[in-house]
Amino acid sequence: MFQALRRWLSLGPLGARSSGFSAVEAWAGRAGFRFRKAQDRSRFLIETTSNGCELRMEWGPSQRSYIEPSELRLRMDMNLPGSVQMLVLNQALMERLEGETFERYTQSAQTMIDISTPEEMRWLAMFPKVDLSFDKPLRSHFCVLGADPDLTLAWVKAGLAPQLERASQSLLRGDTPFVLITMRGKMYLRMQLAEPSPAALTQCLELFDSAVLAAQSLIGQMPQGHTEWPSTANTAWQQLDDPEDPLRR
């Protein structure tokens, strides 16, 4: 369904003869995708459109306190129903965010979670966790939750679980911070990545692709109604459309 994304994956990473942004630029260029980089080489952006779905990959300074110093971010506008609110994160990060959330609201005596808190922190308090007992290796590495536990479990079982397990042995081994989330019709991925090598980007795309296709397969299973995400929701993505953005210069 997403031909451009699959063509990108089929190209594979470049060899060791290339390094840095030049390797990534060549890798993306072979697929005919748009590549931009900041003048100070602090980050780059790759974009493409496939079957009306916009895919965006960005690497640069982290936008989250739990990721240091650099992160990879992916976003695809899939036009999913707004009620599809699902989250996957690794166990170590889940435990850290739960602790930070508890500390933030007990020390400040707040009784409600405000919208300035990132979704991945708010959702840990808002949504039930999915029972992953059907797959012990998956349960040992990841936490999954969502507004609709049955729908979220179906997403994981629709081809995403094997990719997550493989990633836990390579791309996400150890306690690498990782978040995969669907909201407001889009799918987002963010993870800690010190060096944006073509090999690492390819692995990340393989994981993202499986999540995209699994989510797409759920559309026909969606219940009627409850399709809108509250307009007060916090944005989870940096906007690159302002004139001061270094990637536009």
Q: Which residue has the higher pLDDT, 243 or 61?
A: 61
Sketch the domain layout of the chain as residue ranges.
3-9+21-30+46-220
CA atoms within 13 A on the CB side of 198: 24
What does the pLDDT look like over 170-227, one tens digit per residue? 999 989 999 999 999 999 999 999 999 989 998 999 999 999 999 988 876 665 554 4
50: β partners = 53
Q: What is the pTM of this model?
A: 0.83
The DSSP result for 112-133, as a single string, is S--TTS-HHHHHHHHSPBP--T
pLDDT band at residue 231 under the 50/70/90 scheme: very low
CA distance 152 to 130: 7
What does the pLDDT look like over 83-132, one tens digit per residue? 899 999 999 999 999 988 777 666 655 555 555 678 888 899 899 999 99
The confidence score (pLDDT) of residue 226 equals 47
17-26, 219-228, 236-245 — most confident range: 17-26
- % helix, strand, coil for the chain, step of 5: 40, 20, 40
pLDDT band at residue 59 under the 50/70/90 scheme: very high
Distance (Å) of CA 215 to CA 15, 80, 190, 221, 226: 32, 8, 17, 10, 17
pLDDT(35) > 50: yes
Positive or negative CA dihedral for 77, 65, 43, 211?
A: negative
